[in-house]
Amino acid sequence: MKPIDPRTKLLLGAAIIAGVLAAKSPVSLFSQLTLILSAIFLLKKAKPFFHVLKMVVPMIFFVFIISWLSFDSYNALMLSIRLFNLLISSFLIFQYIPPEELAGGLRKMKIPFGFVFLLTTAVRFVPLMQNKIRCIREAQMSRGIDLRLKVKNTKNFMALLGPLLVQSFILADELAVAMEVRGYGCKNRSFRKDYRLAFLDYAVMIVSVAILTIFIHWETGL
């Protein structure tokens, strides 16, 4: 069977994000949370998800506390769940759409190549920089520099930021050389794969838009 076109995946991802933003009732938000978590485990993305969860949970907790102090516990809980749904649905979308497919789909949608290049490069560099941060952190801690998240260790973080800054400049220089070698400024640019919409793509688009429309009408009570 022909794989789904990246444009279809992007529309499906946009529909998921719109559905999370349109949800108003606790039942809808918890149902969305259940569906998104189920999709993550069905697509076998649990391992990277738990790595992301370590960064997401403290932020959600911070948002909950601030919202609770500003409003009340109900609104704080609703806001926290909505933000969590947005973050994990975005994670699922970017896990499901590889950078090369993302670039090809956006170019087919007539998005300027400069913007597409910046977006896909950022997506590719996030895991690369995470790996470099981990390597630098482990190397410095092996030298006896404590980089655990404690207030007293604040002064030690220059031992992490300094090498990371140097590595960033090296990566930027390597990327610039690679772009120049591959003729980045060439006008008659060609792509390795030509994406074409098939019947399945149109069917998925129509069904996803229909479900989103029905859900929005349901939530707004129209």
The more confidently predicted of residues 154 and 21 is 21
**Which one of 38-42, 104-108, 172-176, 202-206 scores highest in mean pLDDT?**
202-206
C-alpha dihedral, 122 to 3 to 107 to 21, nearest 10°: -60
Rounded distance between C-alpha atoms, residue 136 and residue 107, angstroms = 36
Rounded distance between C-alpha atoms, residue 216 and residue 15, angstroms = 11
Strand segments, DSSP code E, in 127-200 are none
pLDDT in tens, 165-194: 888 888 888 888 887 777 776 666 666 777
Q: At what angle do helices 46-70 and 73-96 cross, to 10 degrees?
A: 150
Interior angle at CA 134, CA 129 and CA 138, nearest 5: 150
Q: According to the model, what pLDDT value does residue 42 have? A: 86
Domain boundaries defined on the chain: 1-97+197-222, 112-182
pLDDT confidence band for 210 (50 / 70 / 90): very high
Place of tokens 């279809």: 8
pLDDT in tens, 127-140: 788 788 888 888 88
Q: According to the model, what pLDDT value does residue 93 have? A: 85
Please say whether the beta carbons of 4 and 201 come within 8 A.
Answer: yes
How many helices (H) and strands (E) in the chain? 8, 0
Please say whether the beta carbons of 163 and 169 come within 8 A.
Answer: no
Q: Name the DSSP class of 156.
A: G
